[in-house]
Amino acid sequence: MIQWLHPGFILIFGAFLIPLFRGKWKQGYLLILPAAALIDVILMKMGVFGDIPISTWRLPFLEYELIFGRVDKLSFIFGLIFTLAALIVAIYALNAKSSVEHMSQYIYVGSALGVVFAGDLITLYIFWEIMAIASTLIIWHGGTDKARRAGFRYIMWHVAGGIILLAGIITYIGNTGSVDFNAFNLGSNSVYLPSLLIFIGFIINAAVPPLHAWLPDAYPESTVVGTVFLSIFTTKTAVYALARGFEGFDVLIWLGALMVVYPIFYAVLENDLRRVLCYSLINQVGFMLCGIGIGTALSVNGAISHAFGNILFEGLLFLCVGSVLYRTGPAKCTELGGLYRTMPLTTAFCFVGAASISAFPFFTGFVTKSMVIDATAGLGMAFVFLLLQLASAGVFHHAGIKVPFFAFFAEDANLNARDPPFNMLLSMGIAAVLCIFIGVYPYPLYQILPYPVVFEPYTAPHMIGQLQLLLFASLAFVVLIKSGLYPPEQRKINLDSDWPFRIAGAKFMRFVEGPLMSFAAWMDSNLKKIAADFSAYGEEKEERILIGVSVLLGLLFLASYLIIELIYGWIA
């Protein structure tokens, strides 16, 4: 009798069988996998396999015990939304032909679930790295030369982050003797430095500026579906890990505040709609980190519910822009416009996503984000409160107005397009219905949050304040466009924090290839000349013996040094 089945394993091992199926069978199988994982997660809640929290699937590893299945309220809610999102995007992805692409996507989702249910740091690290590799493969499936190079830059960031994480985990285990993944006790000296390393590993995956450049750089280079998958899992897994380990770590408040404000300016400038959404994703994760950093029951609930809602509405926006991309080719503001006539359903869904992310009343963002903002007000953090409100107006500007406006309205670009195939519409429709449902009736979501919720979003001042903020922000947009002061969209890319690395990297390689190599060649030819002069003094045979003896002596010296070191180390 199986007590508990890991939903991540369903997806990871199920993924390897995808190439065996063809046609309709394959499409069915592609839906069964995430559906099975979703049912698996729901059954955990029903308590068939014991009441949550449970911890199961313990495996011995070295002298430790790995826990693959730790289910409590926090991991349950992330498991639920991850499998739900996987099912929605799987419906959307049915048109994609490549089995390998589907495989890498499902392994990616499975490993994200592995991180969520991991009860110890070693298991966490294993799935963390599988996730990094699988996501790189998803980027490479973009198939272009740009995608290939963006994938390499992406994996560089994540290998660096992974190594820092591993260093943190090893020193943590060394200092405490425990592999458990729980809230880190930052007060203790022996834990502080290791957990700080782990923290840095986590925030690289959460895309905290200035460590965020990999996200808008690499995500839009993937395929239509790939970008949607990527936008959901990596950052939210990091949010989960931070919520588990660093709840109430006040650095997160300021990182979160930086993170909500920094990308909104880029989102104004950016021309590529998928990049606009990537910046808006960073901004949204900022609200979550802020809530986790504050660490009160209200703010953490807000952060987790915002992660839940964000997966739905940010995912929905990515799905809509993906549909535009699927039908028209480009997804750039300068090349789109007037699609509301030819893609009416996509326009409607995009509007639901835009209203949700801007936190209009009756839509998801309103019932989730306001918890975090209320928490900052409740604690009297005036500056953070104002920054979050500024960012809310910013989100409304770029995700609420810019994305739908430039894609579906604006100047008609006379593009020949129509709504995408039925399965894509269905998946967008499910996401849109959920966005409205949670916005109108958030109580089922509030029930599964980690802490008991005492929060009522629908009060008169709350709604009036939010509507004043949003409507007058839109008025600013209207006034600026009417008076011609609004900066026009440009066919340009924008420099971001990876600029120094990319330029310095290229400059260094050119230095190595140019000056350094010619210096080496010059040294080389001189040495050869000297050697030739020497060899002129002796017979060929003696020369060979000379070289042989010197190399042998050198090696012996090195070896003895190593042996002495070893013995010394052994004795001491």
Partner 1 sequence: MEIMLSVFVLTALAILGFTAYVLLNFGAKEPRHRYRDLFLAIYGFTLITMVVVGLFAEWHIVFPWQELTAFYAVYGFAACVFLIYFAKGLRLWLPKEEDYYEKKEGM
Which residues of the chain form contacts with partner 1 (CB under 8 A)? 149, 264-266, 268-269, 337, 340, 351, 355, 360-362, 377-378, 380, 382, 385-386, 389-390, 393-394, 397, 401, 404-405, 408-412, 458-461, 463-478, 480-481, 485-487, 490-495, 502-503, 505-506, 510
Query: Using CA atoms, how far apart are residues 19 and 24, in angstroms rounded to an integer?
Result: 13
Taking the complex as a whole, the smallest distance from the CB of residue 410 to partner 1 amounts, in Å, to 4
To which residue do tokens 């026009």 refer? 488
Q: Pick between residue 176 and residue 494 the one whose CB is nearest to partner 1.
A: 494
Q: Pick between residue 263 and residue 322 the one whose CB is nearest to partner 1.
A: 263
| DSSP-assigned letters across all residues of 317-349 | HHHHHHHHHHHHS--BGGG---TTTT-HHHHHH
Kindly state the helix (H) or strand (E) to which residue 516 belongs, with its residue range. none
Taking the complex as a whole, the smallest distance from the CB of residue 183 to partner 1 amounts, in Å, to 28
Q: Pick between residue 69 and residue 361 the one whose CB is nearest to partner 1.
A: 361
Q: Pick between residue 481 and residue 549 the one whose CB is nearest to partner 1.
A: 481
Tokens of 525: 């030819």
- 41: closest CA among 17, 67, 9, 15? 9
| DSSP-assigned letters across all residues of 255-322 | HHHHHHHHHHHHHHH--BHHHHHHHHHHHHHHHHHHHHHH-SHHHHHHHHHHHHHHHHHHHHHHHHHH
Q: Pick between residue 28 and residue 344 the one whose CB is nearest to partner 1.
A: 344
Taking the complex as a whole, the smallest distance from the CB of residue 279 to partner 1 amounts, in Å, to 11
Tokens of 388: 């979050």
3-state secondary structure of 50: coil
Taking the complex as a whole, the smallest distance from the CB of residue 81 to partner 1 amounts, in Å, to 26
- Tell whether the torsion through CA atoms of 180, 210, 476 and 338 is positive or negative: negative
Taking the complex as a whole, the smallest distance from the CB of residue 429 to partner 1 amounts, in Å, to 19
The residues, ordered by sequence, that sit 6+ positions from 398 with a Cβ below 8 Å of its Cβ are 264, 267, 268, 276, 279, 280
For 206-237, give one letter per residue: b (16+ CB within 10 A) or e: bbbbebbbbbbbbbbbbbbbbbbbbbbbbbbb
Taking the complex as a whole, the smallest distance from the CB of residue 411 to partner 1 amounts, in Å, to 5
Q: Are 116 and 146 in contact (CB under 8 A)?
A: no
Q: Pick between residue 152 and residue 422 the one whose CB is nearest to partner 1.
A: 152
Query: Using CA atoms, how far apart are residues 314 and 440, in angstroms rounded to an integer?
Result: 18
To which residue do tokens 């042996």 refer? 563
Q: Pick between residue 46 and residue 460 the one whose CB is nearest to partner 1.
A: 460
Taking the complex as a whole, the smallest distance from the CB of residue 381 to partner 1 amounts, in Å, to 10
Q: Pick between residue 247 and residue 496 the one whose CB is nearest to partner 1.
A: 496
Q: Pick between residue 421 and residue 465 the one whose CB is nearest to partner 1.
A: 465
Q: Pick between residue 64 and residue 362 the one whose CB is nearest to partner 1.
A: 362
To 10 degrees, what angle do helices 99-117 and 23-46 make?
A: 10
Q: Pick between residue 32 and residue 481 the one whose CB is nearest to partner 1.
A: 481
Taking the complex as a whole, the smallest distance from the CB of residue 130 to partner 1 amounts, in Å, to 30
Query: Using CA atoms, how far apart are residues 288 and 205, in angstroms rounded to an integer?
Result: 14
Taking the complex as a whole, the smallest distance from the CB of residue 221 to partner 1 amounts, in Å, to 13
CB neighbours of residue 537 within 10 Å:
8
Tokens of 26: 């394959």
Tokens of 255: 């990182």
- 227: closest CA among 337, 142, 130? 142
Taking the complex as a whole, the smallest distance from the CB of residue 139 to partner 1 amounts, in Å, to 16
Taking the complex as a whole, the smallest distance from the CB of residue 383 to partner 1 amounts, in Å, to 10
CB neighbours of residue 436 within 10 Å:
15
The residues, ordered by sequence, that sit 6+ positions from 332 with a Cβ below 8 Å of its Cβ are 271, 272, 273, 491
